[in-house]
Amino acid sequence: MTRDEALFQFLLRMGDNTLVLGHRISEWCGHAPVLEEDIALANTALDLIGQTQLWLGLAGEVEGKDRDADRLAFHRDVWDFHNVLLVEMPNGDFGQTLMRQFLFDAWHSIMLGRLQKSADHRVAEIAEKTGKEVAYHLERSADTVVGLGDGTPESHQRMQAALDYLWPYIGEMFASDDIDAEMASAGIAPDPASLREEYDALVTKVLSDATLAIPQSTFSHKGGKAGTHHSEHLGHLLTQMQWLQRAYPDATW
């Protein structure tokens, strides 16, 4: 594996995370609990779609095979997707959506903070720009998790259920493999394991403000980042997202 091949994979991971999560969040448009939340969720989704264009755009450039961000987003199958499993989990209720958002935002913001010091200036520039957007995502999702966790008995119970359901998908964000090792040795991206301490401190603080109990299990699902074992959910998401491009391959939209 050359450095550029590893970088390509790394960029797909970043871009697929934002692509898949942005898609998930966009599913809420028109269906949120209150207008203000509907509008706020759409803003988050718009940020994530924009970030996808940057990450996948750079991925295509690094790959050098004439694939742009759209080509990569709409013409790969499940096994070529490299997002973590967490972001492809279904929306569930609003609480599950916001809990997933918070658990991802916390990782995302720490990751982007480190990437701003990347040895690859293109990566650093994207991290710089998107870091500001994600700082706001985190602020908002953390506040909502606290509000709902601490709110009524029903909202508390729903948030605890969401946390219990999503907790086994946290670990994958910190698992390192060959690609991560290559990125770390090149100074392009941090070793994911090195983000864990900061993440745990942040998440513990917010979840305890939310009066939620952190699950004891340390088990974690994996296979999304590597692309080898996605959940069944991703295929359905792609079926919808890619349908027009696949059904009319010769069309320009």
**Which pair of structure tokens corresponds to residue 88?**
């492809």
Report the C-alpha gap between 177 and 154 in whole angstroms.
Answer: 40
CB of 13 to another protein, least distance (A): 17
Binding mask 65-84 for another protein (x = CB under 8 A): ----xx--xx----------
Give 30 or 64: the residue with its C-beta nearer to another protein: 30
**204: Cβ contacts below 8 Å, ≥ 6 apart:** 214
Q: What is the C-alpha end-to-end distance of the chain, expressed in Å?
A: 35
Q: How far is CA 247 from the centre of its chain?
A: 27
Q: Does 38 bind another protein (CB under 8 A)?
A: yes
CB of 89 to another protein, least distance (A): 16
Pick out residues in 131-150 that bind another protein (CB under 8 A). 136, 139-140, 143-144, 146-148, 150
**253: Cβ contacts below 8 Å, ≥ 6 apart:** 244
Pick out residues in 148-167 that bind another protein (CB under 8 A). 148, 150-152, 154-156, 158
**What DSSP state is assigned to residue 99?**
H
Torsion angles phi and psi, residue 7, rounded to 5:
-65, -40
Of 3, 50, 125, 165, the residue at the interface with another protein (CB under 8 A) is 50
Pick out residues in 224-243 that bind another protein (CB under 8 A). 240-241, 243
Report the C-alpha gap between 178 and 192 in whole angstroms.
Answer: 12
Q: Does 220 bind another protein (CB under 8 A)?
A: no
Residue in the structure block whose two tokens are 């390192």: 176
Give 91 or 220: the residue with its C-beta nearer to another protein: 91
**229: Cβ contacts below 8 Å, ≥ 6 apart:** 222, 223
**What DSSP state is assigned to residue 78?**
G
CB of 66 to another protein, least distance (A): 16
Q: Is 177 helix (H, G, I), strand (E, B) or coil?
A: coil
**What DSSP state is assigned to residue 67?**
-
CB of 106 to another protein, least distance (A): 18
Q: Does 176 bind another protein (CB under 8 A)?
A: no
CB of 191 to another protein, least distance (A): 30
Task: By CB under 8 A, name the binding residues for another protein.
Answer: 23, 26-27, 29-40, 42-43, 45-46, 49-50, 52-53, 69-70, 73-74, 93-95, 136, 139-140, 143-144, 146-148, 150-152, 154-156, 158, 240-241, 243-245, 248, 250-253
